[in-house]
Amino acid sequence: PQEPLVLGIETSCDETGVGIVRGRTLLANAIASSMDEHARFGGVVPEVAARAHLEAMTPTIERALADADVELRDLDAIAVTCGPGLAGALMVGVAAAKALAVSLGKPLYAVNHLVGHVGADLLQGPSLRGAVGEAGELELPTIALLVSGGHTSLLLVRDLVSDVEMLGETIDDAAGEAFDKVARLLGLPYPGGPQIDRVAEGGDPNAIRFPRGLSLPKDMEKHRYDFSFSGLKTSVARWVEKRVGAGEEVPVADVAASFREAVADVLLTKALNACKDLGVPRLLLGGGVVANARVRELAQERALAAGVELRVPPLSLCTDNGAMIASLGAQLVAAGYAPSSLDFGADSTLPV
Ligand code: KG4
Ligand code: ZN
């Protein structure tokens, strides 16, 4: 039989994503982002994001169908992110997916956003360049490090649909959020991640030793795989304030490079600790922070040194998108799982 044709809807943060896959083959990945509308607030505003999803939903669905050259009636199933994420934003996607499923008489699968990021790595297709590792060859078990503006999570994935374990996550800011906040205090525009990345290229990563959150021996028992970035952000703020207070010029490039180094170091130290402790020789990266040049470079260096196979989907599948949700949905269909009953809601703190 043909592999299942699945449409996936993602609205957990500021990206309205609609993707279409046939099994593991990517057919469409349409995205509309409300990032520009959040810029003047210096961060994603939940209410603004929800309204933007509502406006973007129908055109984005239409674009995905056109890109994939399929019609709604051809679909075998619909998949939708039901959490974790911003409650109001999630609700728009869930409501749209239910409306589609009911009106078309198609099965609906509610899926977890974080597991969706891992599902992205299953996809193959002609347009998937820029990946690390062979496209569509996800092997399990794997450790997955998911780093974006909304989450920073370390997962142990033994089976994509039935066995995903959260090893650790941030106890305060997400890594991308830390980039955005530090960029703001350095006077760089939002979103700050790409700005810091750019400015850091001209700086010395060893100029200032910023703290690596939750890495002291006393932290390692309870928080071995957890992250904390708020202390790092405060430390950067203090360092900058001191220079400004003394009437000295702030070496922005050195601060950016040293901050970026601290984030990349702690992310990859903890991820590779997990690989080693648990005897899992694979590491998968996902989330918008994967665009960071130093994170990518250090991941390659450390994985090579540890004998760990590194996998990074192309960036278009690392940032939030609907194709990864469709991909996970297709796995659920193929594995014979029953569809979700229509009474599920959005769950902003949904566990894996
Ligand atoms: O996955 P993503 O597109 O979606 C959300 O979290 O909504 O991630 C966006 C985050 C932002 O915080 C942005 O500053 C960060 O990823 N980011 C980066 C880079 N590019 C995007 N952080 C560090 N370096 C980058 N090059
Ligand atoms: Zn995400």
Say yes or no: 218 and 104 in one domain.
no
Give me the percent of the chain exceeding a pLDDT of 70: 100
Strand partners, 156: 143, 165
Say yes or no: 303 and 194 in one domain.
yes
**Any domain includes 185:** yes
Q: How many domains does the chain have?
A: 2
Give the residue, by CA position, lying nearest to ligand 1 atom 6. Answer: 149
**The pLDDT of residue 13 is above 90:** yes
Say yes or no: 113 and 87 in one domain.
yes
In a 13 Å sphere around the CA of 131, the CA atoms on its Cβ side amount to 25
pLDDT reported for residue 48: 95
**The pLDDT of residue 18 is above 80:** yes
Say yes or no: 122 and 91 in one domain.
yes
Say yes or no: 89 and 187 in one domain.
no
Say yes or no: 76 and 201 in one domain.
no
Say yes or no: 168 and 267 in one domain.
yes
**Any domain includes 348:** no
Q: Which stretch of 39-43, 88-92, 251-255 has the lowest confidence by average pLDDT?
A: 39-43
**Any domain includes 190:** yes
116 lines ligand 1 (CB under 6 A): no
Say yes or no: 324 and 308 in one domain.
no
Q: pLDDT tier at 134 (50, 70, 90 boundaries)?
A: confident
- What is the model's pTM? 0.96
Say yes or no: 13 and 36 in one domain.
yes
Going across the sheet that includes 282-286, the strands are 163-169, 152-159, 142-147, 282-286, 309-311
Per residue in 206-228, pLDDT tens? 999 999 999 999 999 999 999 99
**Any domain includes 167:** yes
Q: Is 192 annotated as a binding residue?
A: no
Q: Check: CB of residue 210 under 8 Å from CB of residue 232.
A: yes
pLDDT reported for residue 40: 86
Domain that holds residue 50: 5-131+316-334
Q: Select from 180, 289, 315 the residue to mutate for testing ligand 1; criterion: most ligand atoms less than 8 Å from CB.
A: 289
**Any domain includes 127:** yes
**Any domain includes 228:** yes
pLDDT reported for residue 136: 77
Name the helix (H) or strand (E) containing 78: strand 77-83
Per residue in 267-289, pLDDT tens? 999 999 999 999 999 999 999 99
**The pLDDT of residue 132 is above 90:** no
289 lines ligand 1 (CB under 6 A): yes
Q: What is the CATH number of the domain that holds 278?
A: 3.30.420.40
Question: Rounded to whole angstroms, how far apart are CA atoms 284 and 290?
Answer: 10
Q: Is 103 exposed, middle or buried (0-12, 13-18, 19+ CB in 10 A)?
A: exposed
Say yes or no: 328 and 284 in one domain.
no
Q: Check: CB of residue 77 under 8 Å from CB of residue 22.
A: no
Say yes or no: 214 and 237 in one domain.
yes
Name the helix (H) or strand (E) containing 186: none
**The pLDDT of residue 127 is above 80:** no
**Any domain includes 284:** yes
Q: Write down the mean pLDDT value for the chain.
A: 96
Question: Rounded to whole angstroms, how far apart are CA atoms 125 and 151?
Answer: 27
Q: What is the 128 CA–ligand 2 centroid distance (Å)?
A: 19
Q: Scanning the structure block, which residue is given the tokens 């699968």? A: 109
Q: Select from 38, 117, 151, 179 the residue to mutate for testing ligand 1; criterion: most ligand atoms less than 8 Å from CB.
A: 179
Say yes or no: 252 and 216 in one domain.
yes
Q: Is 168 annotated as a binding residue?
A: no
